[in-house]
Amino acid sequence: MDNIQGMGMCELDLNGIDLLSVSSHKLHGLCGTGLLYKKKGIELHSEMLGGGQEGGIRSGTENTAGAVAFAKALRLVLTEKENKLKDVLAIRDYLLQELSQIEGIHVHSKKACMAPHILCLSARGHRGEVLVHALEQKGIFVSTTSACSSKAKLASSTLKAMGVSDEEATGAIRISLGYENTDAEAEQFIVAFREVLEKINEVVK
């Protein structure tokens, strides 16, 4: 199971999960370090033979600095999770409320079954790439898709499976929140987003 997005944000029952992966950089640790949970009784076979590091599963010099930083980041996330997650949820709810008041905005994320820190939305008649670059000019960084599929130019297959039209899927942007985001930043985003939409609408008229 890929739990890279959910670690520290979503409760997870490990019963029934054989393998689970987590990445350090999503927790503000260093890139290039990860964690693989293996259920007792599951057998793994090495694809890299040699020194026998990491239980003989992956040979090669361990990234000690990365592992230590990952452990520290994970400890901080799990220690502060209860209070920090409340802040994330409050910011998310504020964004949902404000976005619902902007004409032409369709939020694809459904509150009942969404990750607490990710919003996906489309602005009718606008391409996601245009919105991303316009917001970038204002110092606000969102994306059109996940980083692992950012080079793909096709509309999100996930959105299409949800019944979203090609036009809306192509125009979708993704807002990801973290423990360090603030109320002021959320307010800044809404102001900037309204300005961007207004400016683009003037250009395309």
d(CA 131, CA 66): 35
CA distances from 57 to 3, 20, 135, 193 (A): 20, 15, 44, 47
In contact, 92 and 177? CB cutoff 8 Å: yes
SS3 176: strand
Which of these is catalytic: 31, 113, 120, 148?
A: 148
113 carries an active-site annotation: no
CA distances from 39 to 8, 21, 113, 144, 173 (A): 20, 12, 27, 35, 36
- The catalytic residue positions are 148
